[in-house]
């Protein structure tokens, strides 16, 4: 098995952030949460973001002789 690298990708002066998992494995399926903190909390800004990652893969049938 190879190693998995996960890192947060964010551009300067942008409100967008991405969690990059490479390579993505079936075992990475889970609920991921990100708690956002602000210097000034605003009513329209969600402080907790979450996403359910579902992974799908092809099954391969192996015959052992």
pLDDT for the residue numbered 14: 81
- Rg of the chain taking only CA atoms, in angstroms: 18
Q: pLDDT value at position 48?
A: 81
What was the pLDDT predicted at 29? 92
Answer whether the bond into residue 23 is a cis peptide, omega within 30°: yes
Q: How many C-beta atoms lie closer than 10 Å to residue 53's C-beta?
A: 12
Percent of the chain exceeding pLDDT 70 equals 83
Distance from C-alpha of 28 to C-alpha of 22, rounded to nearest angstrom: 10
Q: If you average pLDDT over residues 49-63, what whole number do you get?
A: 85
Q: What is the pLDDT of residues 4-43, one digit of tens each?
A: 788 888 888 887 888 888 888 888 999 988 887 766 666 7
């Amino acid at each position: 098995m190879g190693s998995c690298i996960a890192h947060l990708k964010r551009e300067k002066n942008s409100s967008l952030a991405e969690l990059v998992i490479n390579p993505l494995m079936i075992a990475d399926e889970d609920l991921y949460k990100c708690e956002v903190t602000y210097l000034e909390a605003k009513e329209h800004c969600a402080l907790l973001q979450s996403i359910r990652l579902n992974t799908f893969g092809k099954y391969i049938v192996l015959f052992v002789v």
